[in-house]
């Protein structure tokens, strides 16, 4: 078993720069002056900038994955490798301590998720209890809550239908985690989304706009699916049902020979 970070540094360094250069460079007429020649050699100033860039990218991986690091030991490993020195640890040692590290980090993540899940459950239950008392909010047998913003007069989709909607999703504290507003409508099967959506869409007529208050059990349950949506998170959506697509309709049977 090998544990290693894969950082395509050369590709990272050059690909964005080249793309940016291509995007920024307007089309030049044939008689335009040639572009200035690139530097003839790698200057200390340029090397400093590139080296700093490498550091930010590698550190970004640690931050993104919430990995602790001893900067002094990390720098020593980096220096030994660049100086082509014999590594301090053998492969079998690396496998052993990286396995220990992975187990510790996994336990920490599980404990943090359990704590966050308990907090989110309590906050969600309190919110839904109070929200369900508001005038105009209806609660179904499953626990889904909805409020009719605008009632349409079109057809009601079935679970096997495909629909197009506009939506705006927030947490109970108002944080926006997803939205189609300002973009193309979202199109998907009614039966292919979270249970709260599947149930709500089959209550709506085309042209309707509902506000949905979805308990975690009808959303993503105890899974953390994004930095915003942790375990046992209650979700709020404003959903406008635009149309029912017929592209999934069964084809007409072939004529008998």
pLDDT in tens, 19-78: 444 444 555 555 666 777 777 788 999 999 999 999 999 999 999 888 999 999 999 999
CA distances from 208 to 12, 51, 154, 165, 248 (A): 47, 55, 8, 10, 22
106 domain residue, yes or no:
no
- The verdict on residue 169 lying in a domain is yes
Q: Check: CB of residue 161 under 8 Å from CB of residue 190.
A: yes
Distance CA 227, CA 66 (A): 12
Residue partners of 123: CB distance under 8 A and separation at least 6? 172, 234
The model's pTM is: 0.67
Predicted confidence at residue 34, as pLDDT, reads 75
> Cα(116)–Cα(40) distance, rounded to whole angstroms?
55
> CB burial class (10 A; 0-12, 13-18, 19+) of residue 254?
exposed
Q: Per mean pLDDT, which of 2-6, 37-41, 170-174 is the most reliable? A: 170-174
Closest CA to 154 of 207, 202, 217, 213: 207
Number of domains in the chain: 1
Domain membership of residue 171 (yes or no) is: yes
Catalytic residue among 94, 172, 178, 222: 178
* 197, two tokens: 């959506």
For residue 46, tell me if it sits in a domain.
no
pLDDT of residue 32: 65
Question: Between the CA of residue 75 and those of 17, 41, 54, 88, what are the distances in Å?
Answer: 27, 27, 13, 13
Which band of pLDDT confidence, cut at 50, 70 and 90, is reported for residue 11? very low
Q: Is 220 a catalytic residue?
A: yes
- Asked about 167 being catalytic, the answer comes back as yes
For residue 57, is it within any domain? no
Collapsed DSSP state (helix, strand, coil) of residue 186: strand
From 177, 188, 222, 245, active-site residue: 177
Residue 183 lies in a domain: yes
**What CATH number did the domain enclosing 129 receive?**
3.10.50.40
Looking at the domain assignment, is residue 92 inside a domain? no
Q: Single out the residue of 183, 192, 190, 198 nearest to residue 243, CA to CA.
A: 190
Range of the domain at 208: 125-245
Asked whether residue 147 is assigned to any structural domain, the reply reads: yes
33-37: Cβ within 8 A, 24+ apart: none
User: Taking residues 171-197, what's their average pLDDT?
Assistant: 95
User: Which tops the pLDDT comparison, 194 or 1?
Assistant: 194
Closest listed residue to residue 243, CA positions, set 155, 112, 126: 155
| CA distances, 132 to each of 169, 186, 191 (Å) | 19, 28, 26
As a whole number of Å, the end-to-end CA separation of the chain is 62
pLDDT digits (tens, 9 = 90+) for 204-252: 999 999 999 999 999 999 998 988 999 999 999 999 999 998 764 434 3
pLDDT per residue over 77-112, tens digit each?
A: 999 999 999 999 999 999 999 999 999 999 998 998
Token representation of residue 163:
């629909």
Q: Position of tokens 């939506």?
A: 167
Q: Which residues contact 233 (CB under 8 A, 6 or more apart)?
A: 120, 124, 171, 216, 219, 220
The answer to whether 178 is a known catalytic residue is yes
- The active-site residue, picked from 220, 229, 236, 244, is 220
């Amino acid at each position: 078993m090998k544990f290693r970070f894969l950082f395509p540094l050369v590709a990272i360094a050059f690909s964005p720069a080249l793309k940016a250069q291509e995007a920024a460079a307007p089309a030049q007429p044939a008689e335009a002056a040639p572009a200035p020649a690139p530097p003839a050699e790698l200057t200390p100033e340029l090397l400093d900038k590139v080296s700093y860039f490498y550091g930010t990218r590698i550190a970004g991986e640690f931050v993104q994955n919430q990995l602790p690091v001893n900067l002094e030991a990390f720098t020593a490993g980096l220096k030994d490798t660049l100086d082509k020195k014999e590594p301090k640890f053998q492969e079998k040692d690396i496998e052993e301590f990286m396995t220990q590290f992975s187990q510790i980090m996994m336990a920490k993540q599980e404990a943090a998720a359990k704590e966050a899940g308990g907090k989110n459950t309590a906050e969600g239950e309190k919110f839904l209890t109070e929200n369900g008392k508001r005038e105009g909010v209806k609660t179904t047998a499953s626990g889904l809550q909805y409020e009719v913003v605008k009632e349409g007069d079109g057809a009601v989709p079935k679970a096997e239908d495909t629909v197009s909607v506009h939506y705006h999703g927030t947490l109970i504290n108002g944080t926006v985690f997803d939205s189609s507003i300002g973009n193309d409508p979202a199109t998907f099967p009614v039966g292919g989304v979270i249970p709260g959506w599947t149930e709500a869409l089959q209550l709506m007529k085309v042209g309707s706009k509902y506000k949905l208050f979805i308990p975690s059990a009808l959303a993503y349950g105890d899974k953390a699916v994004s930095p915003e949506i942790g375990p046992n998170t209650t979700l709020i959506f404003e959903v406008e049902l635009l149309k029912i697509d017929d592209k999934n309709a069964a084809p007409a049977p072939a004529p008998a020979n």
